[in-house]
Homo-oligomer: A and B are copies of this chain.
Amino acid sequence: MKEIVTLDHGSGGLRTSELIEQVLLPAYGNAALNELGDGAVLSDLGGSPVFSTDSFVVTPWRFPGGNIGKLAVCGTINDVCMAGGEPKYLSLALILEEGFAMDDLREIVASAAETAKACGVQIVTGDTKVVERGHVDGIYINTAGIGVLRAHGLGRSAIRPGDAVLVSGSVGCHGAAVMMARGDIPCEGTLLSDCCPLHALSKAALDAGGVRILRDPTRGGVATTLNEFVEHGPFCIELEEDAIPVDPAVAAACDLLGLDPLYAACEGRMLAVVDPTCVDAVLSALHALPGGEGAVQIGRVTTARPGQVMLNAAFGSRILSKLTGAQLPRIC
């Protein structure tokens, strides 16, 4: 008989203990977690904490290039990295649907554990709730992350005219891959989510110097994230359409659905605004790392249209506003 999650697994009693001891601890096990206290007691950080959280409700939970476990770990690690932190510790909280297959949970937990380990991050505390059949499509995950600040002064206020806008690779792959996994796209292909941790790329960029701000363009995509950099401020970002890397499979998928890759989510790409004198150093550092081979400058900061993002194309320019509809619900 297929082993499944039952409401008992969320009771806080005996079956919850079994789930923790048989499924979660073997995957995540470390000294802080193994104490099984109400909270984990951690080593001194030796610096300012960076703290972030995200909940993940992606459907389907498994997609080409990853699953919700990998995504939940990458997502929060990346947010800590983008805020200038070196990620150290994660919490991981599961909301499971009664009847979810225990083997699927094991697959998800294994992906989460593997991803965290690859980044030198420990999953030190967690929680498991189970809700009745018909809720949550199997599984939702929340992660929160603690890092230690290694780059001071990052942020919108550091941006200056003349700065370069870089992206670490092609855009919109995660959104397109999830669409494909939903069956929304009638083609087969090699389209994979870009879901991956950005700890190495962000460290390399910061070490190279001149970074003003970092951000991973998740929901709302590149266009929305760049708007957040300049909105209500005195500067403009001008993008060169020809310079923006879009995978042909992503372009085709978006074309079929009438979507714009500039608004499609990435889950393993990094946008960086960089001092113009440091562009070569940052790009060289990124090119040397897996996942950064395609890093490229896509635009620059100007004063042309304060507070706005412009896309310069062969036949003129247009304004790229923030995403105004729910282009794709449940993409992460």
Contacts and interface: CB of A to CB of B under 8 A. Distances in A.
A38 interface: yes
B147 A39 contact: yes
Interface string A1-25: 0000011101111111100000000
A211 to B, nearest CB: 14
Contacts of A115: none
B7 A329 contact: yes
B124 A51 contact: yes
B125 A39 contact: no
Contacts of A124: 51
Nearest to A149: B41
B329 A132 contact: yes
A135 B135 contact: yes
Contacts of A44: 45, 47-49
Given A13-B220, A55-B93, A55-B129, A82 B39 contact: yes
A57 interface: yes
Contacts of A215: 38
A283 interface: no
A284 interface: no
A127 B54 CA distance: 5
Given A37-B82, A51-B40, A52-B40, A11 B89 contact: no
Interface residues of A, number: 85
Given A37-B155, A51-B124, A12 B131 contact: no
A55 B89 contact: no
B326 A11 contact: yes
Most chain B beta-carbon contacts within 10 A, residue among A36, A45, A85, A155: A45
A230 interface: no
A169 to B, nearest CB: 18
Contact of A8 (B37, B48, B80, B325): B325
B329 A131 contact: yes
Count the copies: 2
Given A41-B84, A49-B146, A55 B127 contact: yes
B39 A80 contact: yes
A262 to B, nearest CB: 12
Interface in A282-332: 321-327, 329-330
B57 A129 contact: yes
Contacts of A220: 11-13, 16
Contact of A322 (B14, B142, B145, B329): B14
A51 B146 contact: yes
Contact of A40 (B45, B50, B323): B50
Given A48-B43, A80-B39, A129-B57, A144 B91 contact: yes
Closest 9 pairs between A and B when the two form their complex, measured CB to CB: A12-B219, A13-B323, A39-B52, A144-B144, A39-B83, A53-B91, A12-B220, A142-B142, A38-B79
Given A10-B329, A38-B52, A53-B144, 13 more contacts: A10-B326, A12-B219, A13-B219, A13-B263, A37-B154, A38-B79, A40-B83, A49-B49, A53-B92, A53-B93, A55-B93, A134-B134, A144-B144
